[in-house]
Amino acid sequence: MFLVGQLAQSVEQGPEKPRVGSSILSLPTIFYLPINPLHYAKIKPMSLLCPIEKLGSHELVICDCESSKQAHSELFRFSDDAYLTADGTTEVFEAITGIVSSCNEALSGCPSKIQLVLVWENLLKVSLWKAVKPAAGDAFTLLKNSGVGPQELQPFKAADTNDLFPWLYYAKRFDVLRKVCHAAKKQMEGHLKDRSIRINCHLAAEDTKRIVASSL
């Protein structure tokens, strides 16, 4: 984390024809930013370049794509300035861990509530707290702990972990999907030093642009 402030500057045109008397600025407003520029360079519409103190005035909603933001905004009707939405080049898990680090290192002014709106693959990453796509074995363990029987997972032994979501969704295993959302909620809460920050996690379906499960 480093400090950022606007530097003062003096500009004089000379004694003959002074057009600008002085442009000496007042002392800078200092705020805190994460060291890794990834955490603020590629997030929009509200940039992580904003002071962490400003973020503290918002219930922050972190969306991994535009369709996730659309799903959340249609359901909850939050104002635009509550959202941090990743673009296609952002590593979402790194952005989330960057926000966690910023909250842990900030002297004050973190959001009191944070909501995560994620598609299946990113939900698995947060639930297992892994930066890379989780291995099938890890995903299976998570699902077993969420109520899926070992025999039910047999057909997916050689499948991609992304194939698990359509099966759970169309089989109406919303109880399992909710438990995975709760696992993601607990992971983020466990990595935050401030236990008063409330976390909730929502699973968004990319094709329908709807939230299909939540930790609420």
Cβ atoms of 33 and 16 closer than 8 Å: no
Q: How far is C-alpha 131 from the geometric centre of its chain's CA atoms? A: 13
54-70 residue pLDDT tens: 455 578 899 999 999 99
Structural domain count of the chain: 1
Q: Which amino acid is at 215?
A: S
Q: Which domain holds residue 45?
A: 2-214
Residue 99 has pLDDT above 80, yes or no: yes
141-199 residue pLDDT tens: 999 999 999 999 999 988 999 999 999 999 999 999 999 999 999 999 999 999 899 99
Cα–Cα distance between 141 and 182 in angstroms, integer? 15
